[in-house]
Amino acid sequence: MFKPLLKVAAIASLVLMASSPTFAADDKKVYKFKLAHTWPTKFPIFGDAIHSMADTAKKMSNGRIQIKIDSKNKHKAPLGIFDMVKAGQYDMGHSGSYYWKGKVPNTLFFTSMPFGMTAVEQYAWFYHGGGMELMDKVYAPHNLLSFPGGNTGNQMGGWFQKEIKSIDDLKGLKMRIPGFAGEVMAKVGAKPTNIPAGELYTALEKGTIDALEWVGPSLDLRMGFHKIAPYYYTGWHEPGSELQFLFNKKKWDGLPEDIKEILRVSMRNAAYDMYVHSYHESAKNWASMKKDFPKIEVKSFPSEVLQALKDANDELIAERAKSDPLAKEIIESQAEYLNKARAWTKISDQSYYETMEKLK
């Protein structure tokens, strides 16, 4: 976190020291950007991250960076961000990389993968383990740059009307579960669907679907699912979902270095802040859910079910690696990094949690 800030400070002092008239002229130039995002107006947490990025960039640039933010209520194309930023209709976007898997399959890998890295492991991969370079490889041919845009933390497995005791209980189960996890569920016999957020509560209440996953207490509380479904399953499918800031590459390439660095730092700061904000909201909302609905039963799928899901996941991943060399490169990079990072997670965080559990 601190390295880029120091860089900005260094650049800022160079700007002060420079007597070049170019610097003086640039110093007053205002850079205006238009940003489109996938979410509704005033959407909590995600929206806060976007506005905090724009505010930070404005303050750090002493007003030279001005970002106008349009929600989906304005541009009406929540899943059109990729195309709009690519075409230059908008300079910037905020969305989720896995939404573009139908367009550019390799975008799938940069949100969260089932049985993959947690938020902190994935941040380490992005910034220090080659993740950013691979994301550039996927996005640059589309005149786009993608930056981490905020993490939801580990997502809950979802709300279920019936307990899942064996793999047979997943057969024919109608569940809202998007992305690659949906493909995994389909492979074990479930019927994944994707229903718009506004219709989810009614669909679960009326039995149109038997189960759904959304995020976790941070955003589930306001949806009210805990009032109509008794079982809250722990997660396996989105261990650390990272949103994204998109930037039109041509526009980015034409910016001066100081403006680029302020934008980079503002995005990185907003992303990390969304991660801790999500953590805070989940902790707070989980306490209030438990208080108001003490009968919520938190469950984990039996090991046999999780193993079947993991086997299905591994098969699907292997198929992708076979079909595309860049997919193979990303899959191998993530697998190798996960192995290395998890060995450390085990003797650090995991061991600490286990130790604490045994104490009074």
The least CB distance from residue 88 to Ca ion, in Å, is 30
- Binding characters for Ca ion, 271-310, by CB under 5 A (x = yes): ----------------------------------------
Which C-beta is closer to Ca ion: that of 142 or that of 176? 176
Which tokens in the block code for residue 238? 């989105």
Task: Report the residue number, 146 or 155, with the smaller CB distance to Ca ion.
Answer: 155
Residues 201-240 that bind Ca ion (CB under 5 A): none
* Coil/strand/helix, residue 76: coil
Rounded to a whole number of angstroms, the minimum distance from the CB of residue 91 to Ca ion is 28
Task: Quote the least distance from Cβ 31 to Ca ion, whole Å.
Answer: 34
Q: Report the nearest approach of Ca ion to the CB of residue 213 (Å).
A: 5
Residue 84 near residue 93, CB atoms below 8 Å: yes
Q: Tell me, residue by residue from 102 to 141, as one string, x for binding to Ca ion by CB under 5 A and - for no binding.
A: ----------------------------------------
How many residues bind Ca ion (CB under 5 A)? The answer is: 1
Interior/surface letters 248-278, b for 16+ CB within 10 angstroms, e for the rest: bbebbeebeebbebbbbbbbbbbbbbbbebb
Q: Closest approach of Cβ 28 to Ca ion, in Å? A: 44
Which of positions 151-170 make contact with Ca ion (CB under 5 A)?
A: 155
Q: Indicate the residue among 106 and 154 with the shorter CB distance to Ca ion.
A: 154
Name residue, tokens 């299905």: 312
Binders of Ca ion among 170-199, rule CB under 5 A? none
Q: What is the DSSP string of 264-324?
A: HHHHHHHHHHHHHHHHHHHHHHHHHHHHH-TT-EEE---HHHHHHHHHHHHHHHHHHHHH-
Residues 6+ apart with CB under 8 A from 218: 45, 152, 153, 278, 279, 281, 282, 285
Among 193, 339, 269, which Cα is nearest to 3's? 269
Residue 169 vs 213, nearer CB to Ca ion: 213
**Residue 238: CB minimum distance to Ca ion, A:** 5
Cβ contact 143:86 at 8 Å: yes
Can you give the binding site for Ca ion, defined by CB under 5 A? 155
